[in-house]
Amino acid sequence: MEQFATEDQQVEAIKRFWKDNGTAIIVGAVLGLGGLWGWRYYSESQLEAKAQASSEYQTVIENATEQGNVESVREFAKTNADNGYGDIAALIAARQLVEQGDLEGAAAQFKLLLDRAEDSHLSALAGVRLARLQIEMDAADKALVTLDGIKSESFAALVAEIRGDAYVKKGQADDARMAYTKALESDTANQLVKMKLDNLSVATGS
C-alpha cells in the first residue's frame, strides 16, 4: 500500500482517487440503489396486479353465478393470460358452456388454455377435457391428435382411457382394447375402465 508522510499527502491522494474514480463510484451506487428501488417497485406492482386480478375474478365469478352470464367469464379469461386467475376462469367458462350445450364454445376455452398454459398439469387437464368434448362432437380423430400432445405422466392412465373411447367412437375395437388395457396397467383399480373393456368384449363377441 502506498505510504504518505503527511496528512496533506493523504488528502491529495484522496483527491486524485476521487478525480479518477469518483464518477464511476457514484454512478455505480446510483445504479445499485436504482436497481434495488426498481426491483421493489416491480415486486409491489406485481402484488398489486395480482390483488386486482383476484378482486376482478371474484366479482366476475359471483356475477356469472348469479346472472348466468358466461360472456364476462370468457372475457376475463381472455384478458388475464398472465395470471392464474385467467386460467381458472377459462375452466369455469368451459364448464358453464358445456352445461348450456355449447360444446364448441367450451372447446375454445380448453384450446385457449392449451395455447398459453405454462403449468404442465393445467395444460394436460385442458387437453383431456378437450379430447372428451371432441369425441362427444364426433371428432374422434381430432381427439386422438389432442391426446398425442399430452406428455404428463400423471395423466397417462386417463389419456389411455380416453384414447380407448376415441377408438370405440371410430369403431376400432382392437385399438380400443389395447388402449383400455394400457390404462389398466397404469391404474389397476380403475373399475370404469374394466367395465369398458367388458362392454367392448360383449359388443364384439370376443
Residue with cell string 374394466: 194
- pLDDT at residue 89, rounded to an integer: 79
The Cα 27–Cα 152 span in angstroms is: 49
The residue extents of the domains of the chain are 23-118
- Inter-CA distances, 79 with 40, 66, 89, Å: 26, 22, 11
Longest dimension (CA), the chain: 108
- What proportion of the chain, given as a percentage, has pLDDT over 70? 65
The Cα 84–Cα 87 span in angstroms is: 5
Other C-beta atoms within 10 Å of 40: how many?
Answer: 10
- pLDDT at residue 27, rounded to an integer: 47
Identify the CA nearest to 159 among candidates 170, 144, 137.
Answer: 144
Residue 33 above 50 pLDDT?
Answer: no
Distance of CA 197 to the CA centre of its chain: 33
Residue 6 above 60 pLDDT?
Answer: no
Mean pLDDT of the chain: 76
As a three-state string, the secondary structure of 152-171 is CHHHHHHHHHHHHHHHHHHC
Residue 43 above 50 pLDDT?
Answer: no
Average pLDDT for residues 50-63, to the nearest whole number?
A: 57
Residue 9 above 60 pLDDT?
Answer: no
78-117 residue pLDDT tens: 877 776 777 877 888 888 888 889 999 999 999 988 888 7
End-to-end Cα separation, the chain, in angstroms? 94
Average pLDDT for residues 142-171, to the nearest whole number?
A: 93
Containing 200, the helix (H) or strand (E) segment is helix 191-204
Residue 34 above 70 pLDDT?
Answer: no
The Cα 94–Cα 73 span in angstroms is: 10
The pLDDT confidence band at residue 20, using thresholds 50, 70 and 90, is low
- Inter-CA distances, 160 with 107, 157, 202, Å: 20, 5, 20
Residue 49 above 80 pLDDT?
Answer: no
